[in-house]
Chain A
Amino acid sequence: MTLDAAAILSGDRRAIARGLTEIESGGPAGVTLLDAVWSKTGRARRVGVTGPPGAGKSSLVAGLVRMLRGRQERVGVICVDPTSPFTGGALLGDRHRMSREAFDDSVFVRSLATRGNLGGLSRSAPAALDLLDAAGFDSVIVETVGVGQSEVEVVATADTIVVVLSPESGDAVQAMKAGLLEVADVLCVNKADRDGADEMALALSNMLDLREGLAWRPLVVKTNALLDIAPLTDAIDAHQAWLGEDGRLGKRRRDATMQRLRWLVGDLATERLLRDAEALLEREVAAVHAGSCSVAHAAQRAVEEILA
């Protein structure tokens, strides 16, 4: 099958869907396709939504889609759910939360499985966003898997990052930890009708007060995804307006590209290094178990030998 870049650029949904499959497969056809549409990328506004499981990410994304449709925007959504490390299977259930919003010719929703990637996204998710961007969607939203504390790949994928928490997400000490909260441009305490929402929002604000040298002080908002998400959309708009000044958006995107490049080069290099290295690794395993050197030493020696 030949992939029709022209059809994708004109917004043909079937062509976009097949293109996404190709990109997800990670083969050369996906790379060729991305090259063919690359000049059309960079126009869409990109929003990333992340946070722990059950915080309400999908329901908030549904709300964002409704809001953006109200502005007559065309919206693309990529939702990522985890692949089982045991069977390779996945249950992709995010679409289920936005099934009414997805049934709209100006909305395109695609679910991706992580397929072994651990950073909160699938390896192909950033490129999937690129394709939706090129296909002419005004806004593209990426929703990560339910994450813990350190899955921060989303930061290299979107212009504005929303970290969604619920009142049950923890106390002030959790809010002080490194990782997830540091990538937020907007901190959203969802399920704000529940007890503890005000305390959670306050703990987050206090944490932010102690962070010095922030160019952008993340906004803390409270929402109820089923009723009112206006505080969230206002906060995203405010961040996007800020990004629009002084060349900040361009710099942010260059930084993101550098990060993506590092990851991809790392992946490709690892693949190349390990190709045909099985016998050599077996030899190192034998050395370690014979007690002649540590695993760390064996690893260093293996890399030296492969590169030699």
Chain B
Amino acid sequence: MSDRPIRVLIAKAGLDGHDRGAKVVAQALRDAGMEVVYTGLRQTPEMIVKAALEEDVDAVGLSLHSGAHMTIFPRVLELLHAAGLTHVLLTGGGVIPDADRATLQNGGVGQLFGPGTPTRDLAHYIEKEVARRRAAN
């Protein structure tokens, strides 16, 4: 079981239409050997969590450039937990100030990545974190 491919959901939440970064990340994770479910634009937290549940993913990656990160990340985390998906890694990136990033990470969100992060770093982080979580389950 531990050698099955890592499955990741990549989503854009809310009305933020800047999906270039999400597409770059989706493709990079695909090239890193992961199965990436790309849900595209204008997803609500509820849609994201329903998809994460049905697709049985190991991780959810959100891309936010709209300033709504302090609302969206906690809401998605809350809904993931309510759905029993406590093992799912919630990570992401975009334009997120350092102070907010620290607050979110302290609140149970995984590492958040800013512009300019090499996609390799992202893939390594997800691989490492998912391996840890699978072993703990």
Contact = CB atoms under 8 A, between A and B. Distances in A.
B35 to A, nearest CB: 5
A99 B1 contact: no
A1 B50 CA distance: 22
Interface residues of A, number: 31
Nearest to B37: A92
Q: Give the interface centre of B46, B53, B56 by most chain A CB atoms within 10 Å.
A: B56
B32 interface: yes
B76 to A, nearest CB: 14
B27 interface: yes
A166 B99 CA distance: 51
B39 A99 contact: yes
Contact of A27 (B1, B34, B43, B44): B1
A14 B84 contact: yes
Given A14-B83, A17-B55, A111 B37 contact: yes
Contacts of A252: none
Nearest to B52: A17
B39 A89 contact: no
Given A20-B56, A25-B1, A110-B55, A99 B47 contact: yes
B35 A92 contact: yes
A92 B84 CA distance: 24
Contacts of B26: 91
B100 interface: no
Given A13-B53, A99-B43, A102-B51, A93 B5 contact: no
Contacts of A108: 54
B38 A96 contact: yes
Contacts of B54: 13, 16-17, 102, 108-110
B38 A91 contact: yes
A87 B30 contact: yes
B29 A89 contact: yes
A276 to B, nearest CB: 20
B124 to A, nearest CB: 15
B114 interface: no
Contacts of A149: none
A165 to B, nearest CB: 25
A113 interface: yes
Nearest to A91: B30
Contacts of B108: none
B118 interface: no
Contacts of B77: none
Contact of A89 (B36, B44, B50, B53): B36
A88 B33 contact: yes
B27 A91 contact: yes
A89 B30 contact: yes
A86 to B, nearest CB: 9
Interface of A: 1, 13-14, 16-18, 20-21, 24-25, 27, 83-84, 87-93, 95-96, 99, 102-103, 108-111, 113, 115
Ranked nearest first, the 9 interchain pairs of A and B with the lowest CB-CB distance are A89-B30, A96-B40, A17-B56, A88-B33, A89-B33, A21-B56, A92-B37, A90-B35, A103-B47
7 contacts: A14-B83, A24-B4, A84-B30, A90-B34, A99-B43, A99-B47, A110-B54
